[in-house]
Amino acid sequence: MNSRSKVSSLLGQLTLEEKASLCLGSDFWHTAPVERLGIPAIMVSDGPHGLRRQPDEADHVGISGSVPATCFPTACALASSWNPELVRRVGAALGREARAQGVAVVLGPGINIKRSPLCGRNFEYFSEDPLLSGVLGAAMIDGVQSQGVGASLKHYAANNQETDRLRVSAEVDERTLRELYLAGFERAVTQARPWTVMCAYNKVNGVYASEHAWLLTTVLREEWGFDGLVVSDWGAVHDRVAALAAGLDLEMPPNRGLSDAAIITAVRTGQLDERVLDTAVARVLGLVDRATASTEPPPVLDADAHHALARAAATECAVLLKNEDRLLPLRPTAGDRIAVIGEFARTPRYQGAGSSQVNPTRVDVALDELRSAVPDQVEVAFAAGYGIDTTDHDDELAAEAVALAEQAEVVVAFLGLPAADESEGFDRTHMNLPANQTVLLARLADANPNLAVVLANGSAVRLSDWEQHAKAVLECWLSGQAAGGAAADLLVGAANPSGRLAETLPLRLEDTPSYLNFPGEAGHVRYGEGIFVGYRGYDKLDCQVSYPFGHGLSYTSFGYADLTTNLTGHHQDGDLVVEVACRVTNTGDRRGKEVVQLYVRDPEASVARPVRELKAFAKVDLDPGQTTMVEFALTARDLSYWSTRLNDWALEAGEFELAVGASSRDLRLTTTVDIAAPALPVRLDGMATLQEWLADPTGSALLHKAVGTDETGRPKGILGNQELMVVIGNFPISSLAALPGFGLSHSVVHALIDQVSARDG
């Protein structure tokens, strides 16, 4: 029997009580079984960068430890790889571990937009950009699901802060939702078809995401064609019946005895159509069927292979922000001493806290890894320099570190955010590294200018008040259990940095576009910056930043040449494609990877548009001297904005600028294309302005005819008075009808509206 008939046969045999029970879990991590009909419970587990499966004997309230699993780089790190293929491989490994542990659905990836660097869960999210988030989210889902395990795309939607996260209402206009906060979900849903989507805790424009029919049904299912199951975030359901009616299929963890009783009563009293319940139950049964379909024995976890993958992934995630005098890679020779300073070199910070926290199979320590990576007779000496449980300056620790720095050829300082600074559950209040680290850094630089900084942090930190002390800065993010090995590989040049910033590093918190509206108050957070989040905001304000979106250096260099474009198809026919190609060459002396980024700009538009937007990217791996052709294909959607007037994507004809480069502010080649598209329709009614009537060829002709001309052929009334037109051209024509002498009486206006309505049908 195929899945659909199996589900419908089971549905026919379930009692109302059993159906209600299936719309809730049976405990913290399991769906409800119906033993009478052989319907098993399936297990779900966090999380996005490593499995957090709780052992059977655990407390099942989700707090206590989990069985060992590979801790891969967190999303903030993975995103910096700009490598969907790598993310897919990590996802597949995660899927294998889930299968090995009997987990049916992995609760990730999280792809919420980094609206503010302060969001406590930024380490769990990919980017400030929806294309990058969507592409990588889809890759992760592909990987997980390639193993016969489901993914759960979360947190849908507009969950961009932790402050008041279970109650706050994100007040976001629809254009901003469509272009920014939903676009990544749309891509991941339509391209990777996740088995499940997890709704967010918060409200969106006043309605809980768990009860948001527009989000859960209109957009997700009817527009994007999602055919999987919607699960609540843990504790996000407040009214089970309203949530069910809106499209939320499974409540986790269950409010047993309450939610099921409410569903039963609602069906019995006719408040809820039983067919709505049946639809949700069918989705739960469909998920159970998918999860139990494989007849293959579960794989055995190969911890070594997954650790090696975690290390390879972590090396691709690190972003070399600066590298003056080519300080890196380190090139120590026999007899040299490298001073490694910083507690994080010995006590690594490699993941964030909260529901995504993994119990790693092992942890690489950067200090040990560096010691084994350098040639014999090179000394790697260590001093802690600062404490990680305090921001207080410890003079003794600092003095010891400074003394060591003085006696070394080169200093590598491991700095970063203490675990207490960032976690699920709360937002940061500042972007600074702890004072004990920055004060130490200044003293180290005085002692030895050959200073490299290695950073470990899950969300952007301010660099502008300390980076002058470092010749090189390697941003490693929270890069998982193999972060230490990866850092060593990069420092000695066994690996070449190829990460690029997935988020802008601003000069200061006050420059961030959401600064005035984060995290809101009294239950509301207004997304007042609209679409101008991240680089879209900094570029629009022409604001200096420490490092722009897309930035990252390499130990080699790349040249760009021969940007070409070719248009095929037509927007009217729905098959417009803009083919873009350029040649990229490794112009340096070692193999390396470049992330070629394509940005689009619409210089003249009827709505406010970003200065540039990322619309495609490709990571290429080139030997010294090697050239490759990089090709992209843009569609009409890539050139469009969301029109709230048309309730659709709108493409305005005219010139578009296309630029390729190595970051959003390092654009190497630019060209323009001319795009033909029909004029956007305007609804010509009494509230349409005089200017809008005149901008429409039919409207203008009818208007001129109705007003008539004088004996010299000049239009009568207001149409003949250019000066007046400038002043009151933005009046709706109904309002102009009330003003005498303009030739637009109410009867003329009514006749005009009748004529255009006849035209528009």
Query: What residues are labeled active site?
Result: 233
75 or 398: whose CB is closer to ligand BGC? 75
State the burial class of residue 175 (Cβ atoms within 10 Å of its Cβ: 0-12, 13-18, 19+).
middle
164 or 233: whose CB is closer to ligand BGC? 233
Mark 341-380 with x for binding to ligand BGC (rule: CB under 6 A) and - for no binding: --------------x-------------------------
Instruction: Name the amino acid, one letter, at 542.
Output: D
Helix ranges (H only) for 129-170 are 130-145
46 or 602: whose CB is closer to ligand BGC? 46
Size of the site for ligand BGC (CB under 6 A): 7
Distance separating alpha carbons of residues 749 and 720, to the nearest angstrom? 17
154 or 551: whose CB is closer to ligand BGC? 154
233 or 503: whose CB is closer to ligand BGC? 233
What residues numbered 482-541 form the site for ligand BGC, per CB under 6 A? Answer: none
Give the single-character DSSP code of 360: B
User: What's the min distance (Å) between Cβ of 424 and ligand BGC?
Assistant: 7
Residues with Cβ within 8 Å of 553's Cβ and at least 6 positions away in sequence, in order, are 320, 321, 322, 323, 497
Q: Is omega for the bond preceding 213 within 30 degrees of 0, making it cis?
A: no
Give backbone dihedrals phi and psi of 582, rounded to 5 degrees, phi first.
-155, 165
Strand order in the sheet with 666-675: 613-622, 592-601, 654-663, 666-675
Instruction: Name the amino acid, one letter, at 67.
Output: V
The pairs formed by 235-241 with CB atoms below 8 angstroms and a separation of 24 or more are 235/166, 235/201, 236/166, 236/199, 236/200, 236/201, 236/208, 236/209, 236/210, 237/210, 238/208, 238/210, 238/211, 239/211, 240/23, 240/24, 241/266, 241/271, 241/272
607 contacts 573 by C-beta, under 8 angstroms: no
Give backbone dihedrals phi and psi of 516, rounded to 5 degrees, phi first.
-75, -15
State the burial class of residue 711 (Cβ atoms within 10 Å of its Cβ: 0-12, 13-18, 19+).
exposed
For tokens 């549905």, the residue is: 11
What residues numbered 23-52 form the site for ligand BGC, per CB under 6 A? Answer: 46
For residue 308, the Cα-to-chain-centroid distance in whole angstroms is 26
Residue nearest to ligand BGC (CB): 355
Residues with Cβ within 8 Å of 737's Cβ and at least 6 positions away in sequence, in order, are 744, 745, 746, 748, 749
Query: Is 154 among the residues that bind ligand BGC (CB under 6 A)?
Result: yes
What angle in degrees, to the nearest 10, is found between the helix axes of 274-291 and 259-268?
Answer: 140
Residues with Cβ within 8 Å of 236's Cβ and at least 6 positions away in sequence, in order, are 166, 199, 200, 201, 208, 209, 210
Q: Is omega for the bond preceding 155 within 30 degrees of 0, making it cis?
A: yes
Distance separating alpha carbons of residues 59 and 43, to the nearest angstrom? 15
What residues numbered 71-110 form the site for ligand BGC, per CB under 6 A? Answer: 107
For residue 38, the Cα-to-chain-centroid distance in whole angstroms is 40
Query: Is 141 among the residues that bind ligand BGC (CB under 6 A)?
Result: no
3-state percent breakdown (helix, strand, coil) of the chain, nearest 5: 35, 20, 45
Strand order in the sheet with 105-106: 44-45, 105-106, 150-156, 196-199, 229-231
Query: Is 62 among the residues that bind ligand BGC (CB under 6 A)?
Result: yes
Helix ranges (H only) for 14-83 are 16-22, 75-80
Q: Which of 55, 184, 20 has the alpha carbon at shortest distance from 109? A: 184
52 or 593: whose CB is closer to ligand BGC? 52
Please identify which residue in 234, 382, 558, 560 interacts with ligand BGC, judged by CB under 6 A. Answer: 234
213 contacts 134 by C-beta, under 8 angstroms: no
357 or 391: whose CB is closer to ligand BGC? 357
Residues with Cβ within 8 Å of 59's Cβ and at least 6 positions away in sequence, in order, are none
Q: Interface residues with ligand BGC (CB under 6 A)? A: 46, 62, 107, 154, 233-234, 355
